[in-house]
Structure 1
Amino acid sequence: MPRFARLFEAAADTLNAYYQAVADNSIDAVMSLWIDEEFATCICADGTHLHGLENIRAGLGKQLEAQPVTIEPLDIRVYDSLGTVVYAIAEAHQPAGTASPHMIFTTYVMVHERGEWRIAHIHASTMPMETAGQFAVKLRHGKGSLH
């Protein structure tokens, strides 16, 4: 096993912790996963741009307060290098009390900082309805999302 194999697995641990923190509706847990730099950015699926940790906390906090959501990753693509991991993920966002999920494409950029993987940037965008339908059909037929 290569020396860095565990290093990249730890980035997945951070991503899983993010999903859990969102499901737990805990803005403190969500923010504990971000890089400790003001260049951190988040573009939400509704188009909102959040720049800097204070704005990210306020914006994501409002979203979590408005409606708790569970995120299920459906298709994950990983691009990694020694200090950076990028996840390109098709996700189903299930807001509490709704019948059907919102299909979202999300990119997470994580950097290795002081021995830990931290989120530096999130970019989410709503999946067009036609694409979401095609995606669902391919998943049902076991072909994966990009075949």
Structure 2
Amino acid sequence: MPRFAHIFEAAADTLNAWYQAVAEVNIDSLMGMWIDEEFVSYICADGSHLHGLDAIRTGLAAQLGAQPVSIEPLDVRVYDSLGTVVYAIAEAHRPADPVATPQMVFTTYVMVHERGEWRMAHIHASRMPDDAASQFAAKMRHGQGALH
């Protein structure tokens, strides 16, 4: 195996830690996963644009404080090169209320390798069009998963 294969596995660990911190509404942990640069950005599924670490912190706190969610990845595509990993993921954002309908979202995570760790540089989330969301929801109901 190439020497850098383990490095890319660590990017998946960062993504899993992101999902865990979102579920726990752990803003400090979430913010620790961003690169230490003011050019970072996060485009939320509701269309709001957050630029810079302070705006992202404030936006995440407001968003997760108002409606905590857990994120279930349904279909994951990974594009990697030395120093950068891009995840394109179809996700179900499940509200804390177990009877509430999950919001279906396409999210792109751009991570860079900084100081020996994978960190977020940009996140872009968009609500799925109704047709695509219906297809993923049907697969979830039938327990097929996204790739069957």
Please give the range of the TM-score, normalised by the shorter of the 2 chains.
over 0.9
Q: Which runs of 5+ in 1 are unaligned?
A: none
1:71–1:50 distance in 2 versus 1, CA, 3 Å: same
Match of 1:130 in 2: 131
Structure 1 segments, 4+ long, off by >3 Å, are 136-145
Match of 1:114 in 2: 115
Q: Give the 5 Å matches for 1:1-147.
A: 1-97=1-97, 98-138=99-139, 140=142, 142=144, 144=146
Overall identity of the aligned pairs, in %: 71
- Residue 142 (structure 1) shift: 4.2
Quote the Cα distance in structure 2 between the aligned partners of 1:143 and 1:6. 27
Q: Secondary structure at the match of 1:33?
A: coil
- Residue 40 (structure 1) shift: 0.3
Q: Deviations over 1:50-102 (max 9, x none)?
A: 00000000011101111111000010000000010000000000111142210
Quote the Cα distance in structure 2 between the aligned partners of 1:73 and 1:91. 4
- Residue 141 (structure 1) shift: 7.8
Aligned-residue Cα RMSD (Å) equals 1.6
Q: Secondary structure at the match of 1:35?
A: coil
1:41–1:3 distance in 2 versus 1, CA, 3 Å: same
